[in-house]
Structure 1
């Protein structure tokens, strides 16, 4: 009987993915305050009881969705970047990868933003997600050591250089702006100019 029970409790990856996708879509559509396990279950086409097999509670589920989204973003941003290249080239490659992530995974990106902007949830997973972007932070620190980048906190430099570009990408997704290759090149140059020493 115990073996049967354990087998029944094994995760079905398709259900897990459906729950993640439903959660992300609903948070983006209706926000945190309106989200509930029953709404997520309905959108994911699973029972509410099924969600509790996979997650302790709603907060645990939201936290796991956030971590999954951050991991996906991190993997996308650092993918293929040669950390032995010049600081300027690394910056451009990270920035291009970041824009590509936003364009291809706008639901994940908007979900991450929702979590980041929520006063209830903004301290989530700082320990678990802080090392995901280590190569990016290392690039900024190395650039500072080489006197190529302003001698400011890496977090400030990242926000100052990346937030404007993420806004351009979001406006492109909404159809309010055209972010073509030429415009992206100009935006990357402007971001670099803003942080270079």
Structure 2
């Protein structure tokens, strides 16, 4: 059995993300990934069983990085409003600092591959966010709607602002970010 090199694994992951963002799922191949990562095609199979295994592990890895950023600094002593704002700012920070990851996740989220690989439920990674919403509902600060709906009203406006920013349509500056945060809070608060 060949020794696994963390640098090669990282190179394979990064090459895969870049290629997926450039050419999409349908045109990607292990040989293209290997060439971009500067490894042999056989080396990829030291780390992954097949392309689907690699995609699944990559998706989980990026989602874990995103969830860690999103929940950073979520202190239970803050109000629900302050926690929602922190979550939204953390989300924007992740997206702005990890453009390739953001576009990879966006592409993956709309792909039938997510269901095929049974990767749809990553809610355990985002447990603290669900807890914030549940607590906010309990103490009467936010609407008693489904928690996923409430989180959607906080996360998707951020992704829309980021998409508009990357397309050159609207700058993701502090003024626009604060407007999105305010509108999202107004949508979910009681």
Q: TM-score range by the shorter chain?
A: over 0.9
Aligned pair count reads 189
Query: Structure 1 CA distance, aligned partners of 2:123 and 2:89?
Result: 21
State how far apart, in whole Å, the 2-side matches of 1:33 and 1:20 are. 17
Give 2:126's aligned residue.
133
Long gaps (5+) in structure 1: 1-5
- In our comparison, the structure showing a higher alpha carbon Rg is 1
- Cα distance in 2 between the residues matched to 1:171 and 1:183: 11
* Deviation larger for 159-168 or 55-64: 159-168
- Among residues 103, 121, 124, which one is paired with 2:118 in the alignment? 124
Runs of 4+ in structure 1 off by over 4 angstroms are none
* 1:26 corresponds to 2:19: yes
1:74-125 CA distances to partner (integer Å, 9 max, x unpaired)?
0111112212211110000010000000000011111111111112323633
Normalised TM-score (structure 2): 0.95
* Equivalent residue runs for 1:71-90 within 5 Å: 71-90=64-83
Q: Which runs of 5+ in 2 are unaligned?
A: none
Q: Of 27, 46, 58, which aligns to 2:51? A: 58
The alignment status of 1:112 with 2:102, answered yes or no, reads no
Q: TM-score, normalised by structure 1?
A: 0.91
